[in-house]
Amino acid sequence: DGGITQSPKYLFRKEGQNVTLSCEQNLNHDAMYWYRQDPGQGLRLIYYSQIVNDFQKGDIAEGYSVSREKKESFPLTVTSAQKNPTAFYLCASSIRAGFGQPQHFGDGTRLSIL
Amino acid sequence: AQSVTQLDSQVPVFEEAPVELRCNYSSSVSVYLFWYVQYPNQGLQLLLKYLSGSTLVKGINGFEAEFNKSQTSFHLRKPSVHISDTAEYFCAVSGDRLNAGGTSYGKLTFGQGTILTVHP
């Protein structure tokens, strides 16, 4: 079955540490997205990528970095500069970026601070 | 700018009763509208979408939504809910947005979510 795989499901970060969240899709989608979910705030866009080797900042990119070296992979690094990283992180993809494209989601990674 | 307001943060309802989850949006451009459902510790699953055509949209699990352009609303309804419908529901709007390079990327803006709790 095609889908989006996020790993790990749970992740703990120590102070001053960078951590990387994995997102892999086998849907052959061009566009991929990272969202942060906090209780009562909906989803906020961190970064998105319309095509391989290209990515753009979303609404809350500070303290995060991404890469898109392969079509199927879009890892997110939460750097030590992100002072409040505790949240549920969701990766999504769509056939292509653009107006009206529905997005398909992975099952998320929950990041907590040790 | 586009925005989405879900008017109820929590909706409790008894099993087999009807339910309506309310969503209002604002946008300066034409929009497409979506409803997603999220079960605990899972990702979001698409329930239904309005792109064009009939304003009454039917989705999965017996849900439907009506697009009302004059009231800028997209309320979600189900005539008879089940215990298994207990989840958080998100309304989202996709407006045409351009990135720094001038290419449309169809930004999705989500509401804050409505937690539907179905009681036996």
Residues in chain B, pLDDT under 50 = none
Centroid of chain to Cα A35: 6
Q: Which residue in A has a C-alpha nearest to residue B33's C-alpha?
A: A100
pLDDT of res. A2: 75
Centroid of chain to Cα A88: 10
Whole-number Å distance between alpha carbons of A47 and B58: 31
Q: What is the pLDDT of residues A1-13, one digit of tens each?
A: 679 999 999 999 8
pLDDT of res. B100: 52
pLDDT of res. A6: 97
A91 pLDDT higher than 80:
yes
Q: Which residue in A has a C-alpha nearest to residue B97's C-alpha?
A: A99
Q: Does A110 contact B49 at a Cβ distance shorter than 8 Å? A: no
In Å, what is the CA distance from A31 to each residue of A74, B92, B120?
Answer: 10, 18, 41
Q: Which B residues, 46 through 105, put their C-beta within 8 Å of a C-beta on chain A?
A: 46, 49, 51, 90, 94-96, 99-100, 103-105
Smallest Cβ distance to B110: which of A4, A43, A56? A43
Burial label for A44, CB within 10 Å (0-12, 13-18, 19+), is middle
Q: What is the pLDDT of residues A17-74, one digit of tens each?
A: 999 999 999 999 999 999 999 988 889 999 999 999 999 999 999 999 999 999 999 9
